[in-house]
Amino acid sequence: MNADIGVVGMAVMGQNLALNMERKGFVVAVYNRTRKRTEDLVAGRGKGRRFIPCYDLEAFVSSLARPRKVLLMVKAGQATDAVLKELFPLLEPGDVVMDGGNSHFLDTERRLAEAERRGLLYLGVGISGGEHGALHGPAIMPGGHREGYAIVEDILAKTAAQGPQGSCCAFLGPGSAGHYVKMVHNGIEYAIMQALAECYDLMKRGLSMAPREMADVFATWNGGELSGYLLEITERILRHVDPDTGRPLVELIRDTAQQKGTGKWSTQAALDEGTCAPTIAAAVFARTVSALKEERRAAAGVLPGPSPEIREERGGVLEELFGALYLTIVAAYAQGFRQLGDASRERGYDLSLAEVARVWMDGCIIRSRLLVPMRTAFMENPDLPLLFLALPFASRWREHHGALRATVMRAHRVGIPVPAMGSALDFLDAYRTERLPANLIQAHRDFFGAHTYERVDRPGVFHTDWESAP
């Protein structure tokens, strides 16, 4: 019996994807550098399933039907390079290698070039959905060699989540398109999580609400057009009681958010592309500040501020908070899609943003009801520069921008930081401003660096000798 596909890496994500594929009717070869993980899988969760356990890479490759199809689920970076260094020489031209880790897109470009030199087909495959999604159906974002995708399409499409508009899997483009889209997905994820944390902070410190009361609010919000996975789990987290203490578990978790780097990469790439993603960047920096726990503890006794208590009617504050959250979440998506469009033009990905929205509709961390009208907007105008220019988002801006302004001002007045909401408001106010004060900045640059400037009243490029001017 030959395997339809092989999975390298038997940590939880790799195991769950292998189990998912086997459940969909495929024979799966499984291999892990540490033998015990493979043994534990086939003796435990994989017992009786159509797995071919392998304990060295040569046997693993030999077990695969041609053309061989290999999915790597190992740690991004050096670990992936180490596996590929051993794996590539064992394969034959026409075999397909898929990297399902959170690899940096430039690493994917380098590895794809090496695969091409060997006649292999290579895919950088973004996979989102966590452990649950891997087992029951993630969102899958492949990019690379289109002919390689044609060979594995049936397996990936059946493994993926089945969303409201089809399988949450699609070939996204050449090169590193798949991993680039996954990276931006994670950047959007950072921004939405930060916005939800700001709502939590305003409810907790500003309105003195108990976690169960907050959970009720998030449950209500999740029942409408903001419905999505991150709102759903926010409610569930707030309702969870620690069995050891009887207290809400969220209140016992240290307030230092960690990161694996994809949000940072997304921000770095946005800067390199010259695209606007300030809300995603603000979320990354918010995590960086959270890591300064001891410094923050010391600063709390040195830098005084106002009382965080919000002395207003709770219902009105929460109503405006919903509007602020709505616009901030849409701003995160809008900036992410804008970055994808800019990167597609720069890197030749030829991305369909409507298809990206469809793939994200289920299985992934940022799945949301909002993605349905987002896809419609990009289907109607594939070159749409920003989601807020299309319905229903333009009308939602008119409806909610007063609430966003009130929420940001309220938070600042009581000393509660809202970097995601504040950056979203600043971005949208800048975007809708016909004339920004950047003319003064350009004059500064010309004054001290002779960087020149353009004028509004005549064409051409100009420089002024500012020092000698009267």
The 3-state DSSP class for residue 457 equals: coil
| Listed residue (249, 251, 280) closest to 267, CA to CA | 280
CATH code of the domain in which 458 resides: 1.20.5.320
- CA 92 – CA 74 distance, rounded (Å): 22
Alpha-carbon torsion, ordered 460, 463, 464, 466, to 10 deg: 150
Number of domains in the chain: 3
Could you give the residue ranges of the DSSP H alpha helices within 160-292?
Answer: 177-201, 211-222, 229-239, 262-273, 278-290
Residues 224 and 325 in one domain: yes
CATH code of the domain in which 66 resides: 3.40.50.720
**What is the residue-wise DSSP string for 44-111?**
TTTTTSSEEEESSHHHHHHTBPSSPEEEE-S-TTHHHHHHHHHHGGG--TT-EEEE-S---HHHHHHH
Residues 212 and 268 in one domain: yes
CATH code of the domain in which 335 resides: 1.10.1040.10
pLDDT tens, position by position, for the chain (470 residues)? 799 999 999 999 999 999 999 999 999 999 999 999 999 998 999 898 999 999 999 999 999 999 999 999 999 999 999 999 999 999 999 999 999 999 999 999 999 999 999 999 999 999 999 999 999 999 999 999 999 999 999 999 999 999 999 999 999 999 999 999 999 999 999 999 999 999 999 999 999 999 999 999 999 999 999 999 999 999 999 999 999 999 999 999 999 998 778 889 999 999 999 999 999 999 999 999 999 999 999 999 999 999 999 999 999 999 999 999 999 999 999 999 999 999 999 999 999 999 999 999 999 999 999 999 999 999 999 999 999 999 999 999 999 999 999 999 999 999 999 999 999 999 999 999 999 999 999 999 999 999 999 999 999 999 999 998 77
Positions marked catalytic: 182, 189
| Listed residue (153, 177, 160) closest to 5, CA to CA | 153
Q: Which of 143, 175, 207 is a domain's end point?
A: 175
- CA 357 – CA 368 distance, rounded (Å): 10
10: phi then psi, degrees, rounded to nearest 5:
-110, 35
The 3-state DSSP class for residue 165 equals: coil
The predicted structure's pLDDT at residue 258: 83
Q: Which of 175, 198, 232 is a domain's end point?
A: 175
Residues 198 and 162 in one domain: no
- CA 169 – CA 9 distance, rounded (Å): 21
- CA 256 – CA 417 distance, rounded (Å): 15
Residues 251 and 358 in one domain: yes
Contacts of 307 (CB under 8 A, 6+ apart): 414, 415
Question: Taking the CB of residue 401, how many other CB atoms lie within 10 A of it?
Answer: 17
Q: Which of 175, 208, 226 is a domain's end point?
A: 175
Contacts of 429 (CB under 8 A, 6+ apart): none
The angle at the Cα of 370, spanning 367 to 376, to the nearest 5 degrees, equals 110
Residues 423 and 450 in one domain: no
Residues 67 and 215 in one domain: no
Residues 117 and 204 in one domain: no
Which class for 247: exposed (0-12), middle (13-18), buried (19 or more C-beta within 10 A)? exposed
Residues 75 and 16 in one domain: yes
**What is the residue-wise DSSP string for 329-371?**
HHHHHHHHHHHHHHHHHHHT----HHHHHHHTTSSSTT-BTTH
The predicted structure's pLDDT at residue 260: 74
Are 357 and 166 within 8 A, CB to CB? no
Residues 124 and 234 in one domain: no
Peptide bond between residue 248 and the one before it cis (omega within 30 degrees of 0):
no
Q: Strands 139-144 and 121-128: what pairing?
A: antiparallel
Residues 22 and 137 in one domain: yes
Residues 192 and 168 in one domain: no
Are 149 and 169 within 8 A, CB to CB? no
Q: Could you tell me the two tokens for 191?
A: 């921004």
Q: At what angle do helices 314-347 and 419-431 cross, to 10 degrees?
A: 60
Range of the domain at 134: 5-175
Residues 229 and 170 in one domain: no
Sign of CA dihedral 396, 309, 232, 188: positive
